[in-house]
Amino acid sequence: MNRSSKQGKLVVISGPSGVGKSTICRQVVQRLDATLSVSATTRPRGAAETDGQEYYFLSPDEFRRRIAAGAFLEYAEVFGHYYGTPREPVQQAVAAGKIVILEIDVQGGLQVKAKWPEAMMVFILPPQPEVLLQRIEARARGEDRQARQNRLARAEAEIATGKADYAYFVVNDVLDKAVQDVIDIIEQKTE
Ligand code: 5GP
């Protein structure tokens, strides 16, 4: 390894729905000048979303074509839709010495861990379980009761997997502190 070259890093950030991981990721990306991977998904585009920004919005056929072509570093089905991380941009950015952040679910996180053992696995936890329920309710996005209950059940399963398989845990109680904790982990100030 050339000591003068900056080493890239792959960071997986997961956590249950409603835990605030998008906000944390955005701030970490800004402060570390990191790259946030843009995932592909088959879920419908939200009114405030732009193709290529929050996600690349693909048809199920196109998504499956890309799976077959090996275009994804990982992919998973979440809430009945496919989500996946395009492989090439991640490999290129890490090779160029960037810190690359994947905000993905635990199924995808475990695939990355298996293929890329040096990836830093960070899991975001809520301060108390009730907080998660309140946040899921607050941003219901017009979902019905059943959909909210599904999100909560899934959140509980995600936390169980995260606790078993992730290396670093950050509690999102005070946002600024959570952001700093993630930065310290990435910069290895916690070891
Ligand atoms: P949302 O539809 O609310 O944006 O995301 C739903 C879930 O899908 C979140 O838990 C999010 O972390 C996860 N997700 C987003 N992109 C990816 C991806 O590329 N791969 C995987 N495995 N999960 C993803």
pLDDT in tens, 42-67: 999 999 999 999 999 999 999 999 99
Span 177-184, average pLDDT:
98
Task: Give the residue, out of 11, 12, 42, 78, with the most ligand 1 atoms within 8 A of its beta carbon, to mutate for a pocket test.
Answer: 78
The pTM of the full predicted model, rounded to 2 decimals, is 0.91
* Nearest Cα residue to atom 19 of ligand 1: 84
Q: How many domains does one find in the chain? A: 1
pLDDT in tens, 7-38: 899 999 999 988 899 999 999 999 999 999 99
Tell me the pLDDT band of 4, cut-offs 50, 70 and 90.
Answer: very low
* Nearest Cα residue to atom 22 of ligand 1: 108
Q: Phi/psi of residue 57, each to 5°?
A: -90, 115
Domain, as residue range, for 80: 3-190
Distance CA 160, CA 181 (A): 21
Distance CA 133, CA 152 (A): 7
CB of 104 closer than 6 angstroms to any ligand 1 atom = yes
Residue 97 alpha carbon to ligand 1 centre in Å: 25
Distance CA 10, CA 49 (A): 25
We report the CATH number of the domain holding residue 186 as 3.40.50.300
pLDDT in tens, 124-152: 999 887 777 787 777 766 678 888 888 88
